[in-house]
Amino acid sequence: MGAFGDRQVGRIEIAAAYDKLLHHTMPGATVSQERGSIRMLAPGLAMWQTGIEIIPPGASTALKGHVVQVMQKVRGRWLILEAHPKIFPPPPA
């Protein structure tokens, strides 16, 4: 799931979604994630939770949110099985 509720399946769709976000929806934006925390669910299966920021160019404030990812270790590499980033709504004026 994308930060704005869009859904991707597979590496190609995920890469296309990041390309769209960073080059078309918010050209020049940067994405950063905190170190977060990891909880092992089983050998080779983990859940990672962390804060996320999307900083549009020239913006005075970043879009802040949270991401939860379920990851599996395959042939020595951690692969994302499921990811759910959410952007928090701006605080009330």
- Which tens digits make up the pLDDT trace of 40-50? 999 999 999 99
CATH number at 10-87:
3.10.450.50
Per-residue model confidence as pLDDT tens digits over 62-86: 889 999 999 999 999 999 888 888 8
Residue 80 CB contacts under 8 Å (≥ 6 apart), including other chains: 14, 69, 70, 71
pTM: 0.70
Residue 27, number of CB atoms within 10 A of its CB: 10
Domain assignments of the chain as residue spans, ordered by start: 10-87
Q: Do 84 and 67 meet the contact criterion of CB atoms below 8 Å apart?
A: yes
Q: Are 66 and 89 in contact (CB under 8 A)?
A: no
Task: Give ∠ CA 2-67-69 in degrees, rounded to 5.
Answer: 90
CB atoms within 10 A of CB 93: 3
